[in-house]
Structure 1
Amino acid sequence: MLKKAIITLLLLSVVILSMSGCGSSKGHSDFSAEVAVKTESASASPQSRPSESAGDSGGSPQAFNAASSQINSGHKIIQTGEIQIETLEFEKSVSAITKYIASVGGYTESSSISGNRTSARGIGSLKNAFFTFRVPQDKYAGLFDDFNEFGTVVFRQSRGEDITDSYFDTEARLKSLNIQHERLLSLLQKAEKMEDILAIEKELQSTLYQIESHTGTIKKWDSLVSFSTVEVSIREVGEIQPEASGKGLFSRMYFGFTSSLKQLWTLTQGLLIFIVSALPFIIPLSAIAAAVYYFLRKRRKKVAPAPDRKDEE
């Protein structure tokens, strides 16, 4: 009875330790799920907080540099960016971008390319490409400026998700679970009764599951923080359209008129190409239609009724 009471007291102490670990994590019961990011960190003042997101349409990059400068201040920030590029030389731009990503220590997570310039009719669609890159966090800020060399940047956006509080809460919880695991192993070595052994092993299994879950979450966060994600879309265009905004009235009228003429010429070219491409079908169909029309007309003449003689008299 005395041994059983001692084991029971030890188990209760382990449970109390586990509950205290939960309390230190500020009520987060499921750390393996996506944890909501808090807006204030216990380790920094509000003035040192980076902005949640920053984006523009190809303007000044100061917002990106200001946000990324906070990464090394002890915060755990997941940086995600988006860049859209227009280019006249699609293949050259794609090759230059992939080489650049490799040169800064990044890699391609996913890629897709669509469109074809050499279709059967010789027109085809302009090419488009979409890439998801992972780059080191210290190269993230300069990337937005460097991409101006690969084409015309028409849109860019940067977002920062601060996971500092959630990261350290999970880390503290993991340390508590490791201590709990060691104590359970010690209890298992001292246990003699089968029911005590089974109870301890059940608690060990639950503890190990939580340790593995929290360890996986921390590793995932470490990867997302150390390597930022950048989504890049590249669009091939026939020409780079100049910006008409900010100019005088006549300049904008001229820009609109020339744009309409270019669209009309493009439409005319497409129509001519369609007609020429359809000639192999149009010629035989026209010949068949003419033969049918001639045959029907000749037949009607043969079966036409003779004029009435009384009417002639």
Structure 2
Amino acid sequence: MMIKKGWALLLFLVLVLTGCGSGNNDLSDSTESDSGAGYMDERATEDMAVEEEMGEVDFTDGQGSQLIGDKVIRRVQLEYETLDFQETTTYVLDTVSDYDGYIEYSNESSYSPSGIAPRDQSRQYRRVNYLFRIPTDALNDFLDDLDGMDAYKLSENIGVEDVTQTYRDTQSRIQVLENKEERLNELLEQAETVEDILQIENSLSETIAEREALQSRLDTFDDLIDYTEVHLSVTERPRIANTREDGLSFLARIREAFVDSFYAFYYFIQDAFIWFIYAIPFILILALLIGIGFYILKKVSKKRK
């Protein structure tokens, strides 16, 4: 009877210990699960905060590969021909002013349709080259307004340079240098010997100089990004063909060639006539020398006879 009670007590203890072990395991699993979920939630929150802080705008294709970042430098090249040089250039400058742009560079020169006559006597035509800075946000509207002026657009080229990666790397480097500068200032306050002070000050000066150079580079990037470079040239012409598009008919090409040849011959005659006027003194001197030569030869021939 005592043996049976002992076996029953042993069995009871085994069941109790098994139940406690299972309960502890369940509690441990639940704790680990809750801890893992909390850690994942914390990491997700941190990732979202980092993405919001970066604020980058990525343009991607259908496969998810990055095409272009948010730090982009645009450059535009435009070339126009016009019959009324003054009216066209005035329109261009007024349009630039309307969009709060400014002139960074301009160069005006003159030329003649042919090189036969001297420049100061031939009919002179003008050309001008501009470098404008136009706010990037207003660039498309600015180009649309230029299409409305009375001039023929020979070409339009738009280039894009993505400097996002370089910009971000420079920002990161500036942040590192700022942290280094802060630590050096702390060490400078704690320095006791003259040697330590001089060494820290030299390192601090180099750090400040490098940071300012990188900051200047960022400022240049910001200016190029916010204000697009627009290279624009206007050339005055004596004549502009009304149809220069591709696909001209054979008769239209003959008509254009005939008109162009007429204008070329017309200006050739003008330049040749002006050249002749310049050459009159030389022609008279040459004629006089030839006359004297004939006179001398005639006298010599008479003496021989």
Considering the TM-score relative to the shorter chain, is it more than 0.5?
yes
- 1:86-126 Cα shifts (integer Å, max 9, x gaps): 01111222222122212211111111111167x77641442
Given that 2:81 and 2:236 are in contact with CA atoms closer than 8 Å, whether structure 1 keeps it comes out as: yes
**Amino-acid identity (%):** 26
- 1:155-206 Cα shifts (integer Å, max 9, x gaps): 0111111112221221122122112111111111111123322332222122
Higher helix share: 2
Aligned-residue offset at 1:214: 1.0
CA distance in 2: counterparts of 1:246 and 1:267, whole angstroms: 30
Question: What residue is the counterpart of 2:58 in the other structure?
Answer: 44
CA distance in 1: counterparts of 2:65 and 2:99, whole angstroms: 27
CA distance in 2: counterparts of 1:145 and 1:49, whole angstroms: 32
Paired letter, 1:293: F
CA distance in 2: counterparts of 1:223 and 1:107, whole angstroms: 13
CA distance in 2: counterparts of 1:273 and 1:281, whole angstroms: 14
- 1:124-145 Cα shifts (integer Å, max 9, x gaps): 4421111111111112122222
CA distance in 2: counterparts of 1:166 and 1:227, whole angstroms: 18
**Structure 2: gaps (5+ residues):** 1-54, 113-117
Aligned residues: 243
CA distance in 2: counterparts of 1:153 and 1:206, whole angstroms: 51
Query: Bigger shift: 226-235 or 192-201?
Result: 192-201
Indicate how the Cα distance of structure 1 residues 244 and 230 shifts in structure 2: closer, same or farther if over 3 A, else same. Answer: closer
Question: What residue is the counterpart of 2:28 in the other structure?
Answer: none
Indicate how the Cα distance of structure 1 residues 50 and 272 shifts in structure 2: closer, same or farther if over 3 A, else same. Answer: farther
Pairwise mapping of residues 10-49 of structure 1 onto structure 2 (< 5 A)? 43-47=57-61
CA distance in 2: counterparts of 1:191 and 1:177, whole angstroms: 20
- 1:49-68 Cα shifts (integer Å, max 9, x gaps): 9988xxxxxxxxxxxxxxxx
1:267 match: secondary structure: helix
Aligned-residue offset at 1:278: 2.2
* Cα RMSD (Å): 2.8
CA distance in 2: counterparts of 1:188 and 1:270, whole angstroms: 79
Given that 1:174 and 1:211 are in contact with CA atoms closer than 8 Å, whether structure 2 keeps it comes out as: yes
Question: What residue is the counterpart of 1:38 in the other structure?
Answer: none
1:179 match: secondary structure: helix
Q: Is 2:205 the partner of 1:217?
A: no
**What TM-score comes out, normalization by structure 2 length?**
0.71
CA distance in 2: counterparts of 1:147 and 1:49, whole angstroms: 35
**What TM-score comes out, normalization by structure 1 length?**
0.69
Q: Is 2:290 the partner of 1:289?
A: yes
CA distance in 2: counterparts of 1:51 and 1:279, whole angstroms: 68
